[in-house]
Amino acid sequence: MMKPARREIEILARGACVQADQVLLCRNRKHGNVYLPGGHVDWGEDSKRALAREWREELGVSCRVGRFLGVVEQAYRARRGRTCEISLVFEVVCPKISPRRNPDSAEARLEFAWAPLEALQRTGLLPRAMANNLPAWCAASDAAAARWCGYLR
């Protein structure tokens, strides 16, 4: 018997830390998926606070969460069935890390690496809409440039 489909939307806060035209990416060691650092927003938690918390948990360093860059909505089939996510993307400033060296992970399941912002389509960054739109979001100088991107597969 098949399990009934989940009927919830996951809210994620993701951080774009850009230094010297490089953006920090996170990779799950077991599954290989690549995404911007960050994670789930807990019930009743502000998305900027959630991102700062996730950053401390994953990288072991504090960051400053800056301006809102954009949002990506996606639905896809995952190992546990159909998943729906809304990723809120913010600029992140973290002087304790540098693109001269990949930062250490505070969680064994993750690894971090810098990638050229203009070459994100070749990194495997998910969702693809994030890889396609993040360079323009980061380059825009005002909040009016923030955009929504939907991606369904």
pLDDT digits (tens, 9 = 90+) for 72-122: 998 877 777 777 899 999 999 999 999 999 999 999 999 999 999 999 999
> Domain locations in the chain?
10-152
The fold adopted by the segment(s) 10-152 is Nucleoside Triphosphate Pyrophosphohydrolase (3.90.79)
- Hey, what long-range contacts does 56-60 have (CB within 8 A, 24 or more apart)? 56/106, 57/106, 57/107, 58/26, 58/105, 58/106, 58/107, 58/110, 58/112, 59/94, 59/97, 59/103, 59/104, 59/105, 59/106, 59/112, 60/104, 60/105, 60/106
Q: Say whether pLDDT at 145 is over 90.
A: no
Q: Is the pTM of this model over 0.75?
A: yes
